Amino acid sequence: MNDTKKPLLAIEALHTRFHTQDGVVNAVDGVDFNVYQGETLGLVGESGCGKSVTALSILQLLRCPPAEIQGNIRFEGVNLLNLDQEAIRKVRGSAISMIFQEPMTSLNPVLTIGEQISEAVRLHEGMRYQEAWKWAVNMLQMVQISGPRARAREYPHKLSGGMRQRAMIAMALSCNPQLLLADEPTTALDVTIQAQIMDIMVRLKEEFKTAIVLITHDLGVIAEMASRVVVMYAGKVVEEAPVKDLFKDPRHPYTRGLLGSIPVIGHKAQTGRRLQEIPGIVPRPLETPLGCRFHPRCSSVMDICRKQEPPMIHLTEYRRVNCWLEAS
Amino acid sequence: MTDTIRNTADGDRDHSPISPFRRSWFKLKRNKVALFGGFLILLYILTALLAPVLFPGNPSAPNLIMALETPSLKHPLGTDELGRSILGRIIYGSRVSLSIAIGVVSVGLFIGVPLGLISGYYGGKTDFILQRITDTLLAFPGFLLALGLVAVLGVGLKNAMVSIGIAMIPLYIRLVRGCTLAVREEIYVEAAKAVGTRDTVILLRHILPNVMVPITVQTSLSMGMGILFAAGLGFLGIGVQPPTPEWGTMLGSGRSYLFHAPHVATFPGIAIFLAVLGFNLLGDGLRDALDPRFKL
């Protein structure tokens, strides 16, 4: 593994709060993890656990106020949170890029595909219009869009969801960023298209040596693509592990619950066991429970879990769990 | 171009939906009322452009012997109190009212739209201050505001334009701000930000085209309103000054002879009515045609 390397992105004690009328919402509450050059890190968790907000905080795409970002986000040693607006704008797209969940709405309906892709290279690489256009067509070819020349002249309404997501990937990768934040890139697509998009992302990752932070709630996608996994729950990291270890030996009860709730075809017939679920729902952001945030839903809850927040236990260099079970 | 598309096309090309622009055009073409509005505007613009051809003489030269003549072959719409052909003055008056309307809308567009974009996009203090100013301006009835501004600036064509234009600005600010508020939350704006696009580029290239539809509709309606306001100022005698032929002024001076020469006031009134009607009908038609939810 990349043990000797310095991390490309190091997030330390990231807190993102939203000041709302009902009170302060701690969407991200002390998250830390590293992303190394060229790797794919999976960021997993249920809806509302702060995965997307973490990604948006890295690029500072949140409107502040109401949002407030604290902590350190070091990208190649530079703390992004100390940069001014103009400096962070130059980082966006050229060094760190992002793709979004909704391919249907993430392209501007009044601009052609080519215009939208070439915009980034014109901006960051100072390319001329013609040159940038050729670059855009080239990028469309890379993401396997047929007839890229004609497609570049078309408006988004003529493209299917899968094609739009490919165009989004082309746009995000057009300046060859070192880090790509992929926020549920395949959630809105059907399964066959999902596989194609994943394929393209893996190939481009190899080609461009881009590191990817893959945000998803789909553990199948994680198993396929990620090398390491960070599991988040209610704004906190609850477990981090290399992908194989996580699937083989999940340590946090929440991770176990997540893995247990994946349906396996034929499973019930063979073992007579029902599909497991995690009881309850994610706590509401304004009512985070005392002690361990997962304790109301935890199957192996102990007394101490209700009173004190669990410590982060480092099992090995690459594994850590935020649970009292490991502390004893 | 079409050939290249066909050659590189994949299977679903033939089923591709028609573009929003063409769909709107189809809808507009089927709306007969809006087309009639468009026809009136076309007639109006042609009249203004071809005025010297349509009426070769000087519309302002008095001919007192012919004063207050009823419509005849020589003067199809009769003459006014100074013996000038009303038809000629209406034809030349279209130039004045059209230039006022264009001036008014330009002031509204070039000041109101940028301010609305900034106000909606940045929010915060900028928005608060701009909106309070807008509130203040909107508290006055538009015509009263224009009237007050003329009182400050003085009479004349340019001042009438500026005064009415300023009265239009708050309407544009409100409209554009509201639309910008909705568009700035779209994911494609966030996606544009995520690749490092500058704020000015986001505003002009990503947001402005997406709020063009309501601006277009408002512009058509403001043209009609501009003509009406200009005529109002003229009627009160503080708009364009005689002897320049202006519809409102004609209406105002014709008022004195309403009983024994009603044609003097009636025909300019009809001219104002038709021009304003044209812009309003087209504006309504555009609104229906450009609204994707409204199926015809």
Q: What is the pLDDT of residue B105?
A: 94
| pLDDT bucket at B108, cuts 50 / 70 / 90 | very high
> What share of chain B has pLDDT > 70, as a percent?
92
Q: What is the pLDDT of residue A265?
A: 67
Q: What is the pLDDT of residue B5?
A: 42
| pLDDT bucket at A132, cuts 50 / 70 / 90 | confident
Contact yes or no for A198/A225 (Cβ under 8 A): yes
Euclidean distance between CA atoms A269 and B255, whole angstroms: 95
| pLDDT bucket at B10, cuts 50 / 70 / 90 | very low
* Residue contact B193–A92, C-beta within 8 A: yes
Q: Is A187 exposed, middle or buried (0-12, 13-18, 19+ CB in 10 A)?
A: middle
Element (H, E) at A3: none
Contact status of B188 with chain A (Cβ, < 8 Å): yes
Q: Torsion angle, CA of A194/A198/A201/A205, rounded to 10 degrees?
A: 170
Model confidence pLDDT, tens digit, residues B153-169: 988 888 999 999 999 99
Euclidean distance between CA atoms B121 and B201, whole angstroms: 12
Q: Which two tokens stand for residue A12?
A: 């330390």
Q: What is the pLDDT of residue A273?
A: 62
In this predicted structure, the answer to whether residue A176 has a pLDDT above a threshold of 60 is yes
Q: What is the pLDDT of residue B111?
A: 95
Model confidence pLDDT, tens digit, residues B239-296: 888 788 889 889 988 888 888 888 888 999 999 999 999 999 999 898 888 876 655 4
Strongest mean pLDDT among A135-139, B14-18, B71-75: A135-139
Mean pLDDT value across residues A135-159: 86
* Residue contact B196–A123, C-beta within 8 A: yes
| pLDDT bucket at B18, cuts 50 / 70 / 90 | low
Report, in angstroms and rounded to the nearest whole number, the Rg of chain A calculated over CA atoms: 21
| pLDDT bucket at B4, cuts 50 / 70 / 90 | very low
Contacts of A106 in chain B (CB under 8 A): 187-188, 190-191
Model confidence pLDDT, tens digit, residues B180-239: 999 988 888 988 888 888 889 899 988 998 898 889 889 999 999 999 999 999 899 888
* Residue contact B17–A158, C-beta within 8 A: yes
In this predicted structure, the answer to whether residue B12 has a pLDDT above a threshold of 50 is no
| pLDDT bucket at A205, cuts 50 / 70 / 90 | confident
Contacts of B5 in chain A (CB under 8 A): 147, 150
How many contacts, defined by CB atoms under 8 Å, are there between A and B? 94
Contact status of A213 with chain B (Cβ, < 8 Å): no
What is the DSSP-derived secondary structure letter of residue B197? -
- Count each helix (H run) and each strand (E run) in chain A, helices first: 13, 12
In this predicted structure, the answer to whether residue B93 has a pLDDT above a threshold of 60 is yes
Q: Which two tokens stand for residue A3?
A: 């043990």
Q: Is A101 exposed, middle or buried (0-12, 13-18, 19+ CB in 10 A)?
A: buried
Residues B57, B59, B62, B64, CA torsion sign? positive
> Which residue of chain B is at minimal alpha-carbon distance from A91?
B196
In this predicted structure, the answer to whether residue B120 has a pLDDT above a threshold of 60 is yes
Mean pLDDT value across residues B110-124: 93
- Single-letter residue type at A316: T
Q: What is the pLDDT of residue A269?
A: 55
Contact status of B292 with chain A (Cβ, < 8 Å): no
- Minimal CA separation from A303 to chain B, in Å: 44
Euclidean distance between CA atoms A274 and A263, whole angstroms: 9
Euclidean distance between CA atoms A93 and B195, whole angstroms: 4
Q: What is the pLDDT of residue B196?
A: 86
Nearest to A188 by CA among A102, A98, A108: A102
| pLDDT bucket at B132, cuts 50 / 70 / 90 | very high
